[in-house]
C-alpha cells in the first residue's frame, strides 16, 4: 500500500525532533496556566499576519478550546487531545521547525499539516467543544 505525499509529510513531521520537542513542551505547559496564556497570545499574534482565513479560523477554534480549558469553563477534554492541540500550537509559534517558517511559501506547510492532523484526529472532541461553545452563546443571549 502506497502512502500519499501528505501522509508521508505528516508522518515525518510527527517523528521529527521538532514535533517531539513541541509535545514535551505541551505537557509542561498544561501544568502552567501562565505559560498557556503566553502561548495563546503568541498564536494570536502570529496568526494575525496570515491570510488563509480557513487556517486562521481553525487555529482560533483550537485556541478557544484551550482558553476555555485554562479558565476552567470547559474541562471535558481528554489529556491526549489537550497535548495534541497544545503541541500543535507550540509547533505553530516556533519559527524553527521541520520546514522553517522563514522560507517563503513553504515555511507554513508543515504548520498547516500539523493543524490539519489535529483537526482530523480530534474531530469528535472539537465538535463537542463547538456545540458546548454554541450553547454558551445561546444561554448568554437568553439572559
pLDDT digits (tens, 9 = 90+) for 74-116: 999 999 999 999 999 999 998 777 776 666 667 778 888 999 9
Calculate what percentage of the chain has a pLDDT beyond 70. 88
User: How far from the centroid of its chain's Cα atoms is residue 97's Cα?
Assistant: 15
- Model confidence, pTM: 0.87
Closest CA to 131 of 143, 120, 123: 123
pLDDT digits (tens, 9 = 90+) for 41-62: 999 998 988 888 899 999 999 9
Give dist(CA 93, CA 115) in Å, integer: 12
Amino acid at each position: 500500500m502506497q502512502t500519499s505525499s501528505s501522509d508521508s509529510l505528516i508522518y515525518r513531521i510527527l517523528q521529527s525532533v521538532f514535533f517531539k520537542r513541541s509535545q514535551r513542551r505541551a505537557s509542561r505547559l498544561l501544568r502552567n496556566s501562565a505559560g498557556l496564556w503566553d502561548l495563546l497570545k503568541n498564536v494570536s499574534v502570529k496568526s494575525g499576519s496570515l491570510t488563509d482565513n480557513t487556517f486562521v479560523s481553525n487555529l482560533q477554534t483550537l485556541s478557544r478550546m484551550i482558553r476555555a480549558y485554562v479558565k476552567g469553563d470547559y474541562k471535558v477534554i481528554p489529556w491526549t487531545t489537550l497535548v495534541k492541540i497544545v503541541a500543535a500550537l507550540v509547533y505553530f509559534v516556533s519559527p524553527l521547525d521541520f520546514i522553517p517558517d522563514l522560507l517563503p511559501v513553504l515555511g507554513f506547510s508543515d504548520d498547516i499539516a500539523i493543524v490539519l492532523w489535529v483537526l482530523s484526529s480530534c474531530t469528535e472532541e472539537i465538535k463537542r467543544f463547538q456545540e458546548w461553545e454554541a450553547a454558551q452563546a445561546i444561554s448568554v443571549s437568553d439572559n
